[in-house]
Structure 1
Amino acid sequence: MTQRLPALLVLEDGRVFRGRSFGAVGETLGEAVFSTGMSGYQETLTDPSYHRQVVVMTMPHIGNTGWNGEDDESAQIWVAGFVVRDPAIRPSSWRATHPLEEELVTQGIVGICEIDTRALTRHLRDKGSMRIGIFTGEMAEAPEKDLVTRVQASPSMKGAELASEVTTKEAYVVPAVGEKRFTVAAIDLGIKAMTPQRMTERGVEVHILPASATLEDVRAVQPDGVFLSNGPGDPATADHQVALVREVLDAGLPLFGICFGNQVLGRALGFGTYKLKFGHRGINQPVKDVATGRVEITSQNHGFAVDAPLEGAAETDYGRVRVSHIGLNDDVVEGLECLDRPAFSVQFHPEAASGPHDSAHLFDRFVTLMEQTAKGATS
């Protein structure tokens, strides 16, 4: 059995949970959020969108599938901290190469276990996401009021520009599988590994570009379309990417954005963004496609949303735009569609790593959009 040291979880409003250490020993600070997924913790931990967030798993038993070398969504764990109720004693999956906690220790991720995660989740649902600290070992012996002060002094997620901290430093190419049909310039705002894979398996060569990419960088790869990835932080800080998207729209290039990319497109079209009370995180989020009435179960991870009218088509500098998808839990905007430009976006993660595959067809829609635009240019 792993030796578990005393640990404290401290919220900025002063509420404290006592538990035991899980992972590396030390302290960590971030924004407390909860994920409702029953599986897929490895994909969650390695998703760059969780940068500077402490993830609370609502599923009580975590770690039974261990850790493997195939399911990482990036080259490292990005969460600031990890909160679970009941860690698995040992992994019980044939795919596991080592236990989850061993990987947390190796990468220096501080966590806590043996706390009432249901009570914590209810608190965050009622009070909203807030700053949090996890203190293990000797740090857990410090006066609680001092630890609350440390948490309150930590940076807020509102106003945080984080895409530059998670993006690739150098451009790289993910080749198409089979015959190459199209080329896409993907702006990496915190992209997950499965996202370009979903495009390459459709015959798309994907050029991953840094978040600082310019229109000249995009044009240099001679793309048939532009993709905006998921990512962390406040979309109100993404002025550079918003300017780039406006140039892409002016150029008439097909554009597809997901998650943070949806918010960037929203801003480029003239809509505002705002911070949700506690956000949507997990692989069981219901979304309605307005055009078809179909309900899709989606994978999501976002704490901000686009402020756009849910009914009718709004007039923008780029023509008419309508909300294409709506979250059924709280009527949050979950997608945008430009009616006079070849551009659309969704707030969720259609690559579904991990999660349901209900929305994988959106990559087919992107390919079709590129086909139609190419035919229009040659006709």
Structure 2
Amino acid sequence: MLNYNPQFFYPPLLVSSDRLVRHPLNEWSSRLLSSFYKSIHNVDVVLPIMNQLALIETCRGNYGGAFEICVAQINFLKNLSKKNKSTQYLPAIIQPWINIARMDRWQNKEINSTEIYKSMSPDNRFKFCELNSRYGIEFSLGELCNLGENNSFVAVVNNVYWTEYARFLLRSNSHNLLQKHLQSGISSNYGAFIKISLIEVLILYQVKIDNFDSALKLLINIFGNCSEKYLLHFKVLELFVSEKSGRDYDKGVIDEIMLYVSLVERDSYGLNLISEISRVFKIIGLKDVEIELLSISKEIAEEINDEIILFYVMERLVEIGLCNYELFVSKFEKSSYSVIRKKLKLGNLPLIEVNRSIRIVDAVNYLAVLDYENCLNVLHEENIEMSGTI
């Protein structure tokens, strides 16, 4: 049985079903900028584009640019609301609010991200926090939620606070805060996904502190009450906990897991799930099953063009001697993902990509002050340079 590093099994298997495919960044940004140019006056189209542009800059390692895009998005929504004398679009400030917390977390700025996550708690949402004063936001997070239609933003904030914050606390070893958070969340009624995600974190916490009996009892209770949608996740956890604790397990559970895997949708959610399950089989040392899962992950990653998961899958195949290293490097030598460039020691991004990031931020900053003309001029120049056409 392999030695276990709790950090290696993080994050939990359950992820948001709307996970974006990690396309090659230049291809992804080109497509977004073309849509941005064509739909610049359509706020409902522009807002998700700005969210993804911030994510792309984060993936490039350009946290400063990503942060600027988030701030520009907040200012755009404030200025748009002031011009139209309407609060219609103000609730959308919640998304860059969340993204700023995530960027702080990704950069290991734990104090900053903790404070933002705490501002999302049911007890604190209607209190003004540091982000209100920093960006001149006149409404508390709770008030912004209530301005939205159909309480859709309430669901977003609940999901982020309960599930993302729980995982953050698990990874940062904040065990006292984690126990209180899990107890409060599991006993509340925030929907099936949040509850089952928190139970999974609780199981992983019990494993992390070597409390295997409690983890297995939780799993037994889950199998009696869990919808079929989540059975795969917990069958994998049952195998993992049994192996880690030295207990015997029914060998048929592996066939059962692989049957469930064959039924998973071949999309971003399914790909993320299967690739994470392959890591579990790596930990417990079942290499034949791991290789089968890696093969499935590679196929799906190539089908949907997810560069990040394809990289990690092929990296593992190189480690176990099933992929040529030179072929692997040549596949990713032009990648713009900072994590890939660091692992392969590819150096800094080419100057043309650095300048592209600068122009993207410039365009968004023009939009923030409702200067559509200059925003369009920058987008026009950038689209011509990237593709030769608009």
Query: Normalized per residue, which structure has more helix?
Result: 2
Whether TM-score is above 0.5 comes out as: no
Task: Give the TM-score of the pair, scaled to structure 2.
Answer: 0.27
TM-score normalised by length of structure 1: 0.27
